[in-house]
């Protein structure tokens, strides 16, 4: 399962690589529709279920997953910033409220032995992310990272795993 599916790349690749059923969620109806179209275009439309959802809100209370991947809006905007467009929501998380909710709600959506991963970046505030994970007694561990040079700076794209302390 993927939250913040955007164009659906992660969900579609998961289906193409053998996942029998993938759920893709996005707050933006346009992004959800883009995910649907890309799943159909790449022959995975029968295995990718797409829902417009504010994180997990569109899911039934009983739905659980073996893997949850949060494609996060890791940029921390200045204080007082308000997301006014879908594009803002894709990049900015004022107060890291979406991250707080993901860290709190994702574990309850996992099957026994399931894993929760969060996509992040060196542009984000990892210390705040660690503190937010600790609030409900969890920790984040860097699972994988890769740097890319963009213009004059290197951005590290990261994948964090969420576990119980």
Q: Can you give the pLDDT at residue 159?
A: 94
pLDDT of residue 158: 94
The CATH number for 152's domain is 3.40.50.150
Spatial distance between the Cα atoms of 63 and 45, rounded to a whole number of angstroms = 20
**Bridge pairing between strands 2-3 and 65-71:** parallel
Can you tell me the distance from the alpha carbon of 75 to that of 96, in angstroms, rounded to the nearest whole number?
A: 9
State how many domains the chain has: 1
On whether the pTM is more than 0.85, the answer is yes
Task: Note down the domain range covering 93.
Answer: 2-164
Predicted confidence pLDDT, tens digits, the chain (165 residues): 999 999 999 999 999 999 999 999 999 999 999 999 999 999 999 999 999 999 999 999 999 999 999 999 988 888 899 999 988 888 899 989 999 999 999 999 999 999 999 999 998 999 999 999 999 899 999 999 999 888 888 889 999 999 987
Neighbours of 129 (CB within 10 A): 24
């Amino acid at each position: 399962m993927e939250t913040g599916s955007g164009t659906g790349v992660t969900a579609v690749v998961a289906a193409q690589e053998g996942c029998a059923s993938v759920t893709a969620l996005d707050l933006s109806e346009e992004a959800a529709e883009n995910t649907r179209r890309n799943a159909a275009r790449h022959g995975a439309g029968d295995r990718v279920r797409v829902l417009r959802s504010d994180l997990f809100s569109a899911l039934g209370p009983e739905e659980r997953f073996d893997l949850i991947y949060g494609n996060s809006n890791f940029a921390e905007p200045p204080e007082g910033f308000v997301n006014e467009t879908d594009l803002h929501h894709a990049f900015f998380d004022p107060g890291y409220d979406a991250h707080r909710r993901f860290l709190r709600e994702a574990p309850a959506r996992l099957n026994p032995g399931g894993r929760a991963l969060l996509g992040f970046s060196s542009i984000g505030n990892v210390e705040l992310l660690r503190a937010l994970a600790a609030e409900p007694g969890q920790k984040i561990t860097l699972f994988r990272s890769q740097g890319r040079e963009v213009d004059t700076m290197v951005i590290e794209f990261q994948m964090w795993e969420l576990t119980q302390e």
